[in-house]
Chain A
Amino acid sequence: MSENGINAGVGRYPSFYGPQGRLILVDSALEAVSRGSATIGIKTPKFALISSQIKPTRLLMEASEKIFTIDGHVGATGSGYIGDILQLIDTLRLEAQRHKVTFETPIDIDSLAKRLSTFLHSYTIYAVRPQAASVIIAGADQTGVQLYQVDPSGTFFRGSGFAIGQNSESALGVLEHSYSADMSVKQAIELSAKSIEKALGEKPVVETGIVMFADKQFKKLSKEQTD
């Protein structure tokens, strides 16, 4: 069989690259993420906030948890396949404790994002399914409040506002338009709700978590605190 025939890439080895030189499986994973629940991250110098839509799909069913404590000073959320998100959350938790066992200090958020990036990247170089989940990490360390987005390719971004999941472009549009570095926690909660509402076209049920620079403690907010 010819290497360049119509069957190129089909056979003993899977093809990673498409005709345009893109990683097909990674693109598919990103596509899966873009169908996930609307998820937001906002950072100011004083705090970082993560918020994700939860889907109580049936009357007698409890919705899946979407905001996760990684360690005392870090929290994360994600969008994509829940099973994949949970796997990534556990990786983050494990890396945080591994750092603590080795150095007896809390892990810094940059190192944590890089560890997750390495983990995700390993799924892009072998004949396996890349994780169909993007994760937003919010935490506080010696360098201040930090917010990261990590994608299935292993790419990670640091920034003040992120949106992932369904219609993330329009959610990000709202964030970019209304963001200001000196907004209060209350305003940030409202902004995240507004962004998610824009993405969904309806009032969402969300779960929210916050980390303040002052106490460096990540906390999940109760329903009363976000309403």
Chain B
Amino acid sequence: MYMTTIVGIKTKEGVVLGSDKRASKGFFIGSKIAQKIAKVDDTLAIAIAGQLSDAEYLIKVARGERKLIELRRGFPLTVKESSKLIANLAYSGLRSYQPYFVELLVAGVDEEGGQVYVADMSGAITNEDFAASGSGAPIAYGVLESLYHKEITNEEAKEIARKAVAAAMERDPGSGNGIEIVAIPNLVLNEVTR
């Protein structure tokens, strides 16, 4: 289990990601200011649990592929397509006995609104209303399960994410040293005139 707490919440206004800031090296706290939420671009962010190097590599490749595909076809990848891109890399890693040791929360907005996907080292992706990962996840899920509702706003979700990570930090030794929250608002869709 990865020593972390990350949460992701889908809202009617977009998506919200939350994380703690502790990077563990066994029983030692390697960093108290670790960045576990990586912005891919303005419409997509990924929260990281697991091997940081593996996660950063996957995110870097995803960022490059996303830009390339957007330029080639003229419109951006959806959140699902982006998640699948990462899942395909993870799966090919698993099948060649060199898996990427990660569990990622891929959260972003597209024309369908906010989306949260969980992508793990097996290459599976699941679409969720809310999700948590890392060693603090069971505790975070307790908070999320009791406070989440379908009509949630980004401001409410930020508060719930903060509470979920804070609760995990209280009882999970793998999580601590502060909270980071990232919110992505839905796209402002302009009328298609073509």
Contacts and interface: CB of A to CB of B under 8 A. Distances in A.
A70 to B, nearest CB: 8
B64 A97 contact: yes
A176 interface: no
Nearest to B62: A101
Interface string B52-91: 0000000011011101100110000000000000000000
Interface in A39-96: 68-71, 90, 93-94
Interface in B20-37: none
A94 B68 contact: yes
Nearest to A71: B67
Contact of A93 (B60, B63, B71): B71
Contacts of A71: 67, 71
Interface range on chain A: under 10, 10 to 19, 20 to 34, or 35 or more? 10 to 19
A69 B60 contact: no
A100 interface: yes
B42 to A, nearest CB: 12
A26 B29 CA distance: 61
A97 B64 CA distance: 5
A98 interface: yes
A71 B67 CA distance: 8
B67 A97 contact: yes
A100 B72 contact: no
B71 A100 contact: no
A203 B68 CA distance: 34
Contacts of A68: 71
Interface in A79-132: 90, 93-94, 97-98, 100-101, 104
Given A71-B67, A97-B67, A104 B72 contact: no
A90 B72 contact: yes
B61 A101 contact: yes
Contacts of A93: 68, 71-72
A105 B72 CA distance: 21
B68 A101 contact: no
B64 to A, nearest CB: 4
Contacts of B68: 93-94, 97
Interface of A: 68-71, 90, 93-94, 97-98, 100-101, 104
Interface of B: 60-61, 63-65, 67-68, 71-72
9 contacts: A69-B71, A71-B71, A94-B68, A97-B65, A100-B63, A100-B64, A101-B61, A101-B64, A104-B60
